A and B are shown apart, each in its own frame.
Chain A
Amino acid sequence: MSIKNMTEEKNWSGQKLVSTDYLLFEAPREKHFMTGSEVLKEAIKRCTVDASVSYPITPQSEAAHLIGELWAEGYVGLYFRGENEFGVMSEVQGCAMAGARTVTTTSGPGTLRAMENFPTWSGTRIPCQLVLMARGINSPLTIQPDNLEVSFLLETGCMIWYAENVQELFDMSIAAFTVAEKPDVHVPIITAVDGFFVSHTRESVMLPADDIALHPYDPYASPLPPIDSEMPPGRFLRDPFVMKSNYISYATHASWQWEVRSAVERSKPYARHYLQGLVHTTGDEDAEIVFVACGTATHQAKEAHRELAKLGIKSKVVKLRTIRPFPHQELLEATKNAKYIFVPEFNIVGWLDKEVTQSLYGKTEAKIVGRPRVAGGMSMPAEAILREVFENTNVKGA
């Protein structure tokens, strides 16, 4: 398998090159039944991916080794197992800097072990994708679903998208490459899903044929040169201590960090297009009871909505597809009729509750309730959500 086999029409594994719009919105699809890990393999297979580096940790090990199978089958250009997550994320940085479309995966403690890399990734503007299969953070140890780790990533300067289910993981992880690689964006993207609930649960999904794939990454249509000695300036270090310049311009450092955050904001129009909206609302448009959630919590909120409907109580579910950039405008619009906003979460700190509260501060008169919160692998039954509704509103239960 060699990159030399790629032509104008086909990539090196013989797949026909198509636009992202075609792959996501137009290509005919067939029904399959598979887990999140398996669907990630299907997505990566259709993305003309140059590089992936892997390391085992539950629950993302399966997804990581399936990407390895793609390499053995000739779809992914290069692949190897790294020595630990910090090493893996550094290897990913090297691959992306040298011009590869790169993907990796990790979970929980692995994310924390790699932590120093994430602000470096965003600061050096690499468009790599990290599929994060959220699992609990030690101590105590749990391999079970819990998305506390996302709170650690919020200020790394990376984009963060959250998939609700297996189908959404498929489409998001394809869109992720396209949006991250836009020249005015070009920052890392973290595609989060809940471990086990999505990675290990089989769902029906609609997939396009596997003989089509995205166009390859163009490392020269990028906001800074790749490290390959092929593009000027010939003298180029990625990234120097800017503090060591004369008249000590610390302002450069601030400007650089602002640029990274601006790049995340610039992703909004593209994310809106490829995700078909930064948020997705279901239920009763003018409901006074609104659930704001992401990932699997959305699924449970939709259950609660159905139960409330049986009782004749209106409610609305607002799913946030993107966390960074945070969809301030869309959230405000979706909650304009709300009197009560519930933010159910799979972590004990309520990071989404904080984001929502800060976003709506001074703009809503709704009571915002950051409950229920479950963690460490607990499930979130609809009953738990309903109880919060009955206790915090003047709505009567059955």
Chain B
Amino acid sequence: MANLGPAHYSPYPVAFYDDLLTPPEGKALLLTEIVDEEVAMREIARVMLTSENATIFPGPQVLYAWNDEAKKKATLIKEMAEVLNAKMIPMYDYRPKYPKIDAEVEINPNHPNLTIWHNNIKACIFVGVHCHYANVALKMIRSETDCYTAAICGLSGHEDAMATIRDQHASEMARFIEIAKEVKKELGK
């Protein structure tokens, strides 16, 4: 079922098993429900603020200064981490790293579970990771760990995350940060 993991031994594709697809434009996905974007943003913020070792995984599209949008997003993500009391661990490329990853400081789409287990991460946000690699990682995380995954996507979103918002450009991210600040206040964190 499309819930919090660990789901199965084998990577869990909700599109195939549960008929869950990416949310339509203007909406978001929370577990199995299509919801308003703001509802999902609140929930993502709440989970990040109330889970152990909450971590943001920034990917290549925001880590490198390859255009103005990336530079803006970098500043916003740093602020996001501060607001959410979250660590940041980069997914700086997608190669199967040799000889092995240093699970404490990096995450890799070929075995994201290692980083999550090593750091005991219970909630995370994927942002700036190319969709294919995010999806490959998210299916494994859902099957093998109990980590809550959220995907902040600049394109269509990720149904393999427990929460996903789509079409997120710099201005949408800024809105998410404002909502996160509100939630933080409400929770007294």
Question: Which of B48-56, B132-140, B171-179 lies at the binding interface?
Answer: B132-140
Which of A182, A251, A265 has the largest count of B CB atoms less than 10 A from its CB?
A251
CA distance A233 to B135 in the complex (A): 17
Q: Tell me if A284 counts as interface (CB < 8 A to partner B).
A: no
Q: Is the CB of A261 within 8 A of B13?
A: yes
Minimum Cβ distance to chain A for residue B59 (Å): 8
| A246 with B97: CB separation less than 8 A | yes
The answer on a CB contact under 8 Å between B136 and A259 is yes
Contact: B114 with A232, CB < 8 Å? no
Chain B residues whose CB sits within 8 angstroms of the CB of A234 once the complex forms? 64, 93
- A31 beta carbon closer than 8 Å to chain B: no
Instruction: Pick the residue among B108, B139, B157 that contacts A255 (CB under 8 A).
Output: B139
Q: Which of A137-145, A217-225, A356-364 is the interface stretch? A: A217-225
Q: Can you list, as one digit per residue, whether each of B139-174 has a CB less than 8 Å from chain A (1) or not (0)? A: 110011000000000011101100000000000000
Within the complex, which residue of B99, B135, B157 is in contact with A262, where a contact is CB–CB below 8 Å? B135
Q: Classify the secondary structure of B's interface with A.
A: loop
Determine which of B10, B61, B110, B155 lies in contact with A242 in the assembled complex, contact meaning CB atoms within 8 Å.
B110
B110 → chain A, closest Cβ, in Å? 4
A255 near B98 with CB under 8 A, answer no
Does A232 lie within 8 Å of B63, measured CB to CB?
yes
Which residue from A235, A251, A265 sits with its C-beta under 8 Å from B95? A235
Are the C-beta atoms of A246 and B63 separated by less than 8 Å?
no
Given A246-B97, A246-B101, A265-B21, residue A184 in contact with residue B131 (CB < 8 A): yes
Partner of A183, one of B63, B143, B156: B156
* Pair B99/A233 contact, Cβ less than 8 Å: no
Q: Is A245 an interface residue (CB 8 A)?
A: yes
* CB pair B130 A224 closer than 8 Å: yes
Contact of B16 among A242, A243, A261 (CB under 8 A): A261
Residues in chain A near residue B63, CB distance under 8 A: 232
Contacts of B131 in A (CB 8 A): 183-184, 222-224
B157 touches A249 (CB 8 A): no
Residues from 232 to 267 in A contacting B, C-beta threshold 8 Å:
232-237, 240-247, 249, 251-252, 254-256, 258-259, 261-262, 265-266
Q: A262 contacts B98, CB within 8 Å?
A: no
Which B residue's beta carbon lies closest to that of A260?
B132
Residue of A nearest to B142 (CB): A255
**CB <8 Å contact, A223 and B130:** yes
Once bound together, how far apart are the Cα atoms of A256 and B11, in whole Å? Answer: 9
Within 8 A of A (CB), among B99-129: 99-101, 108-111, 114
Q: Which B residue sits closest to A246, measured CB to CB?
A: B100
Tell me which residues across on chain A come within 8 A of B99, comparing CB atoms: 246
Q: Which residue of A186, A224, A247 contacts B114 across the interface (Cβ within 8 Å)?
A: A247
A254-B10 in contact (CB<8A): yes
A262-B15 in contact (CB<8A): yes
A1 in contact (CB, < 8 A): no
Bound state CA distance, A235 and B91, in angstroms? 12
Contact A245 B16 (CB under 8 A): no
Asked if B85 CB lies within 8 Å of chain A CBs, one says: no
B67 to chain A, nearest CB (A): 9
Q: State the CA gap A242–B21 with chains docked (Å).
A: 26
CB-CB < 8 A to A240: which residues of B?
95-96
B155 to chain A, nearest CB (A): 4
Q: Report the separation of the CA atoms of residues A251 and B132 in the bound assembly, to the nearest whole angstrom.
A: 15
Q: Is B60 an interface residue (CB 8 A)?
A: yes
Asked if A45 is at the interface (CB within 8 A of a chain B CB), the reply is: no
Out of A225, A247, A255, which one reaches B130, CB within 8 Å?
Answer: A225
Question: In the complex, A223→B160 CA distance in Å?
Answer: 14
Residue ranges of B at the interface with A (Cβ–Cβ < 8 Å): 10-11, 13-16, 19, 21-22, 24, 60-61, 63-64, 66, 92-101, 108-111, 114, 130-133, 135-137, 139-140, 143-144, 155-157, 159-160
Given contacts A184-B21, A262-B14, A266-B156, 19 further A-B contacts (CB under 8 A): A183-B131, A184-B156, A224-B131, A224-B132, A225-B60, A236-B94, A237-B95, A243-B96, A245-B97, A245-B110, A251-B10, A251-B111, A255-B11, A256-B136, A258-B11, A258-B13, A258-B16, A261-B13, A261-B16
17 A-B pairs (CB sep. < 8 Å): A184-B157, A186-B132, A223-B132, A224-B130, A224-B133, A233-B94, A242-B110, A244-B98, A246-B97, A246-B98, A251-B10, A252-B136, A256-B136, A262-B16, A266-B15, A266-B159, A269-B24
